[in-house]
Structure 1
Amino acid sequence: MHNKFEEKTLKTEQIFQGKVVHLQVDDVLLPNGEVSKREVIKHPGAVAVIAITPEKKIVLVEQYRKPLEKSILEIPAGKLELGEQPEVTAIRELEEETGYTTEKLEFVTSFYTSPGFADELLYVYFTDQLSPVKEEKKLDDDEFVELFELTLEEAEKFVLEEKIHDVKTVYALLFLKDKLSWNNRP
């Protein structure tokens, strides 16, 4: 793809510098010569792990999400730390949030979570080689999660009930459904 619709940045105003995100407002030159404003959230990136237990259950965590004003079930995920490789973040988040670890992590894909206003790139990994951590890892001080292990069928039901209601987890379920159908082909 080429940038025939590129919007050239004329000016950037930093509005907020937070712990997780930064907000800026850009004045941009549109392809038609007009000028417009774009509100942009800068994010360091994140990882998510599609983790399957030996019993073929999907590892999920329940977490309260303030922007939604509700708890939802999600695959384990977390923010990249400055200079940290995504694979390292994936293992760290898996261990902290679930009590599991793995020595076999397979890269699945990466995608932008909300390209209309944010630059967050999410890296997705898969593992079905879980083992309990030897030493319990500590969650962030402001993080509270509960572990769930569901079958694919149970998880699909939770999507319909909006207990699973985020794109990375819905993507994970589609990935698993496709992976299972390919593995069961003659």
Structure 2
Amino acid sequence: MEFNEKTTHREKIYQGQIIDVEVHDVELMNGDTSKRELVFHNGAVAVCAVTPNNEVVLVKQFRKPAEKPLLELPAGKLEKDEDREEAAKRELAEETGYQAQSLEWVTDMYGSPGFSNERLTIYFTDQVEEGDMHPDEDEFLELHTFSIDKIREMLQNGEFEDAKTIIGLQHLLLNYNHSK
């Protein structure tokens, strides 16, 4: 069976600075028709960074869709045609002040492929140097660092609600040599 839906009509509903929204009429594999509400996004990156003191770098910020602050991996959206690894280094530096000397690719993922094409790339680094934060002018962040043991405890207690953060931290616990 070929898995495909043919778009027969599309209507642009909204064109924004971060997302575009369209409604598509599609022909299903069985010949029936349906509507799909789609969100288009340039993509994003996140970095799971471990300091020379063996602490994990996280940021706390208010997230309007969740209506509360969340503790997350440093992350951000891609500019048009921006290299993912360079964007990850940029976002880490802007949000935390830490400069990544190198990054290791962890995974690419779709957070909500039922309605959005946003592809997020997660990186890992334990090669960072401390510097000064310089977040975007509309971005209010609080820098936090936690021991790896504390991260394990927080994950077990369900203290993280953000998918990219949970995935990045689980990767850390499964793959990082904690005795460095």
TM bin (shorter chain)? over 0.9
- One-letter amino acid matched to 1:95: A
Q: Which residue of 2 aligns with 1:55?
A: 53
CA distance, structure 2, for counterparts of residue 138 and residue 58 of structure 1 = 19
Check conservation: 1:60, 1:75, Cα contact below 8 A: yes
Structure 2 residue identity aligned to 1:21? I
Equivalent residue letter for 2:149:
E
Please name the residue that 1:102 is paired with. Answer: 100
Structure 2 counterparts to residues 94-133 of structure 1, below 5 A: 94-133=92-131
- Spell out the pairing of 1:91-170 with structure 2 (5 A cutoff): 91-133=89-131, 136=132, 138-159=134-155, 162-170=158-166
Deviates most, 50-59 or 150-159: 150-159
Q: Secondary structure at the match of 1:61?
A: strand
Is structure 2 residue 76 aligned with structure 1 residue 73? no
Determine the structure 2 residue equivalent to 1:64: 62
Q: Is the Cα–Cα contact under 8 Å of residues 9 and 26 in structure 1 kept in the other structure?
A: yes
The alignment-based identity, stated in percent, is: 47
TM-score, length-normalised on structure 2?
Answer: 0.93
Give the CA deviation at 1:33.
0.5
Question: How many residue pairs get matched?
Answer: 178
Deviations 1:128-166 (A, max 9, x none): 011023xx3531121000000012332243345554211
Please list every run of 5 or more consecutive structure 2 residues that lacks an aligned counterpart in the other structure.
none
d(CA) in 1 for partners of 2:100, 2:163 = 24
Q: So what's the TM-score if we normalise by structure 1?
A: 0.90
Whether the 8 Å CA contact 2:97–2:134 is kept in 1: the answer is: no
Amino acid at match of 1:13: E
Q: Gapped runs of 5+ residues in structure 1?
A: none
Whether the aligned pair in 1 keeps the contact of 2:9 and 2:26 (CA below 8 Å) is: yes
Q: Tell me, in whole angstroms, the C-alpha distance in 1 between the residues paired with 2:130 and 2:33.
A: 55
